[in-house]
């Protein structure tokens, strides 16, 4: 049976189990930043039939499967269990000219509502969390790199420049994802826009997704629509679903605060499982399986990551270093050995016979030429 067929059956089985149990298990991030140490972190949520987070799961009730094989767990934490991981969140806010408009029936313009939504998200951040802020129109500007000072983040949100220009949220999403390079813990981008991205110079949705998958970043996209219609719906969904995130739509600016609070709650209700694996240079499928007695469930979404090649791992680097050290040692020892061989070499070669210096012909007294068998003067054969 081909691998694709097997994975398809796993997906169908997961959906059937989830529907039967009333539990929904969803993988939200795979962080492979520690794979050189043989560890992978997987973040996931478990929700009941009413959409509420299920707290206090035991480690014994959870299994992680990589390409269908159960992996050994090295850590477990989450909703009501252990110490939660810090959240690193990049808020990406649209400040294009259309954000200054008031929607029908709305008391506030979209930009003001977006600022209030961002402030609401920051108010829910906890000690240990960090935040960064990006604003974009036709261009992208990092207004504040990562900081743990939530007051500074609030002040920067208040000071976002007034709306003007076009829209380049692909570039903004890409730059926001880049900011998370090297960060540890939960890594997310929350991106808000109200229009079609037409001024991008750097990135496409596929490039955003590829970068986010490589860095283990989840992107939540928020579309501010007019009459349930968003101009760039396919792109927002592509970015969100391609990074194990969610897409949200707000029909009115006043709904944005609730959306940002919902994203925050989603992050607070996650679990994190750490399991052991090996580098291998192939893409690996990951699933989470729950076993709560008579209730079972499997993650409803297929998540995967690309395991790096053994090249560059500490084990490979050590072997490579030892090989190079051995070669250098041989090269350092080789010249003296070759020199000694060369000194002994002439003694091993046969030596050509040469005439004694000053030999003369006994008949005419003339000197023999070196190596001559006859006298050059009289022709007498040399004895």
Q: Which stretches of 129-278 are DSSP H helices?
A: 150-158, 169-178, 205-215, 233-242, 256-268
Q: Is residue 320 part of a domain?
A: no
Q: How many domains does the chain have?
A: 2
Looking at the fold, whether 189 and 40 belong to one and the same domain comes out as no
Cα–Cα distance for residue pair 246/237, rounded to 1 Å: 8
The pLDDT of residue 353 is 45
Decide if 146 contacts 178 (C-beta within 8 A): no
Q: Is residue 166 part of a domain?
A: yes
The pLDDT of residue 108 is 74
Looking at the fold, whether 122 and 218 belong to one and the same domain comes out as yes
Whether the per-residue pLDDT at 4 is higher than 50: the answer is no
Q: What is the pLDDT of residues 51-70, one digit of tens each?
A: 999 999 999 999 999 999 99
Looking at the fold, whether 39 and 163 belong to one and the same domain comes out as no
What share of the chain has pLDDT > 70, as a percent?
81
Looking at the fold, whether 222 and 121 belong to one and the same domain comes out as yes
What average pLDDT score do residues 168-185 get? 95
The pLDDT of residue 362 is 76
Q: Is residue 71 part of a domain?
A: yes
Find how far residue 192's CA is from the centre of its chain.
Answer: 23
Looking at the fold, whether 75 and 97 belong to one and the same domain comes out as no
> What is the reported pTM?
0.75
Q: What is the pLDDT of residues 70-79, one digit of tens each?
A: 999 999 998 8
Looking at the fold, whether 212 and 231 belong to one and the same domain comes out as yes
Looking at the fold, whether 259 and 280 belong to one and the same domain comes out as no
Helices 110-123 and 150-158 meet at what angle, rounded to 10? Answer: 180
Please list the residues that pair with 92 across neighbouring strands: 134, 191
Decide if 39 contacts 74 (C-beta within 8 A): yes
- CATH number, domain with residue 304: 2.60.40
User: What number of H helices and E strands is found in the chain?
Assistant: 8, 15
Last residue of a domain, one of 207, 233, 268: 268
The pLDDT of residue 337 is 52
Q: Is residue 378 part of a domain?
A: no
Which range among 123-137, 141-155, 313-327, 359-373 shows the weakest confidence by mean pLDDT? 313-327
Cα–Cα distance for residue pair 186/325, rounded to 1 Å: 40
What average pLDDT score do residues 316-326 get? 67
H/E element, 316: helix 314-348
Looking at the fold, whether 60 and 207 belong to one and the same domain comes out as no
Last residue of a domain, one of 314, 345, 369: 314
What average pLDDT score do residues 218-230 get? 84
Handedness of CA 119, 268, 77, 299 (dihedral sign): negative
The pLDDT of residue 348 is 46
More reliable by pLDDT, 337 or 246: 246
What average pLDDT is seen over the chain? 84
Looking at the fold, whether 115 and 46 belong to one and the same domain comes out as no
Report the 10 Å Cβ neighbour count for 3: 10
Whether the per-residue pLDDT at 339 is higher than 70: the answer is no
Confidence of residue 3 (pLDDT cuts 50, 70, 90): very low
Looking at the fold, whether 110 and 234 belong to one and the same domain comes out as yes
The pLDDT of residue 176 is 98
The pLDDT of residue 333 is 73
Structural domain that includes position 57? 3-79+272-314
Looking at the fold, whether 216 and 70 belong to one and the same domain comes out as no
Last residue of a domain, one of 209, 239, 268: 268
Q: Is residue 377 part of a domain?
A: no
Q: Is residue 328 part of a domain?
A: no
């Amino acid at each position: 049976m081909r691998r694709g067929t097997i994975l398809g059956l796993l997906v169908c089985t997961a959906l059937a189990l989830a529907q039967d149990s009333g539990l929904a298990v969803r993988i939200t991030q795979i962080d492979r930043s520690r794979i050189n140490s043989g560890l992978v972190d997987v973040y996931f949520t478990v929700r009941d039939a009413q959409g509420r987070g299920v707290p206090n799961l035991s480690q014994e009730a959870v299994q992680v499967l990589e390409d269908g094989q159960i992996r050994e767990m090295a850590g477990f934490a989450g909703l009501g269990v252990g110490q939660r991981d810090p959240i690193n969140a990049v808020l990406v806010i649209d400040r294009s000219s259309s954000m200054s408009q008031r929607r029908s029936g709305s008391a506030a313009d979209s930009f003001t509502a977006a600022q209030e939504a961002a402030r609401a998200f920051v108010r829910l951040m906890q000690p240990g969390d960090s935040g960064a802020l990006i604003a974009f129109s036709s261009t992208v500007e990092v207004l504040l790199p990562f900081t743990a000072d939530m007051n500074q983040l609030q002040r920067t949100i208040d000071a976002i420049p007034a709306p003007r220009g076009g829209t380049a949220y692909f570039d903004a999403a890409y730059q926001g994802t880049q900011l998370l390079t090297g960060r540890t813990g939960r890594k997310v981008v929350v991106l808000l826009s109200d229009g079609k991205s037409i001024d991008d110079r750097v990135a496409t949705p596929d490039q955003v997704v590829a970068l986010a998958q490589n860095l283990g970043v989840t992107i939540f996209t928020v579309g501010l629509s007019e009459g349930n219609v968003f101009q760039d719906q396919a792109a927002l969904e592509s970015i969100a679903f391609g990074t194990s995130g969610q897409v949200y739509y707000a029909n009115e600016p006043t709904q944005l605060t609730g959306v940002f609070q919902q994203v925050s709650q989603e992050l607070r209700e996650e679990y994190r499982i750490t399991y052991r694996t090996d580098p291998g240079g192939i893409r690996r499928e990951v699933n989470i399986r729950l076993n709560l007695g008579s209730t079972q469930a499997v993650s409803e979404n297929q998540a995967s990551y690309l395991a790096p090649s053994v090249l560059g791992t500490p084990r490979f680097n050590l072997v490579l270093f030892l090989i190079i050290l051995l070669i250098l040692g041989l090269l350092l020892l080789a010249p003296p050995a070759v020199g000694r061989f060369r000194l002994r070499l002439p003694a091993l070669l046969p030596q050509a016979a040469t005439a004694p210096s000053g030999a003369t012909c006994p008949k005419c007294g003339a000197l023999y030429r070196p190596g001559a068998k006859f006298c050059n003067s009289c022709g007498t054969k040399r004895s």
